[in-house]
Amino acid sequence: MKILVCISHVPDTTSKINFTDGDTKFDTNGVQFVINPNDEFGLTRAMWFKEKQGATVDVVNVGGPETEPTLRKALAIGADGAIRVNTTATDGFAVAKQLADVIKNGSYDLVIAGRESIDYNGGMVPGMIAGLTNANFVNNCISLEVDGTNAKAVREIDGGKETVSTTLPLVIGGQKGLVEESDLRIPNMRGIMMARQKPLTIVEPNGITTETTTVKFEKPAPKGAVKLVSPDNLDELVNLLHNEAKVI
């Protein structure tokens, strides 16, 4: 079984976010980038298929040279090879088109993508990949088993969970549940050294034009001032809630 794991290169959630050029571009200075958490759950599940079923696992990213450390981390975790599509990730459709070409050229049986990335939270790419490659698709996937060409997946739905049976080729939009946080892997020294010897293939983009343009970024409004009330002064608290906050 050939598995391709889609890896997004995203800012760590603890990073301070700023914008430049009149708030039209993201300022990467001082920002620590990591593997998108939803993708990391998928990568860890792919490692399980590799160890238990002998699958081969590649990782892919759409981005410039600055994303290669993230791909190298995925290789250090255990992926067999990495592919970088040499273009800046813009909108979801453009990214999906680039990834679909990689999938078709590689004849992958299973594509594991995160349900969404934590930078734009678009949630579009996995479904678009499935449509462009004529593969079956399961989104919000929290469990996946593969037996030959048959697969059984569990996905979250409103108010519960749904178990579905399908066949390969398959694209999933994964999230926490594919593995637990305690199962996530930290690259060890041996993995880091081996990653330097593993192939990282750079492919040129297919020339697809983007469908959207970023007009402007805007930060959330700053939090308002907080008024502290002594726990011994409940009368003042009640008065403030009633007359100032007007919530009672």
Predicted local distance difference test score (pLDDT) of residue 67: 96
Beta strands per DSSP E along the chain? 2-6, 9-11, 18-20, 25-27, 33-35, 56-62, 81-85, 110-114, 136-147, 150-157, 160-167, 170-174, 200-203
Q: How far apart are CA 130 and CA 45, in angstroms?
A: 19
Bond preceding residue 169 cis, omega within 30 of 0: yes
* Residues linked to residue 112 through DSSP beta bridges, in sequence order: 5, 172
- What's the pLDDT score for residue 78? 96
Per-residue model confidence (pLDDT) at position 35: 97
Nearest CA to 46 among 218, 230, 183, 189?
Answer: 183
Q: What is the pLDDT of residue 201?
A: 97
> Structural domain boundaries of the chain?
2-220
The whole-number pLDDT of residue 209 equals 76
Tell the burial category of 45 from Cβ atoms under 10 Å away from its Cβ (0-12, 13-18, 19+).
buried
Sheet bearing 160-167, strands edge to edge: 160-167, 150-157, 136-147, 170-174, 110-114, 2-6, 56-62, 81-85, 200-203
Its CATH class, for the domain covering 2-220, is alpha beta
- CA torsion through residues 101, 105, 111, 112, sign: negative
Taking only the tens place, the pLDDT of each residue in 198-247 is: 999 999 998 877 888 889 999 888 888 888 888 888 889 899 888 888 88
Within its chain, how far is the Cα of 126 from the centroid? Answer: 10
How far is 117 from 132, CA to CA, in rounded Å? 20
Tracing tokens 């200075």 back to the chain, one arrives at: 29
**Residue 14, both tokens:** 């603890």
- pLDDT digits 0-9 by tens, 173-197: 999 999 999 999 999 999 999 999 9
Give the sign of the dihedral formed by CA 62, CA 174, CA 36, CA 16: positive
The DSSP line for 53-95 is H--EEEEEEES-GGGHHHHHHHHHHT-SEEEEESS---SHHHH
Tens of pLDDT, residues 50-91: 999 999 999 999 999 999 999 999 999 999 999 999 999 888
Compute the mean pLDDT over every residue in the chain, rounded to the nearest whole number. Answer: 94
Q: How far apart are the first and last CA of the chain?
A: 61
Instruction: Collapse the DSSP code of 18 into the 3-class scheme (helix H, G, I; strand E, B; otherwise coil) and give the result.
Output: strand
pLDDT at 11 over 90: yes
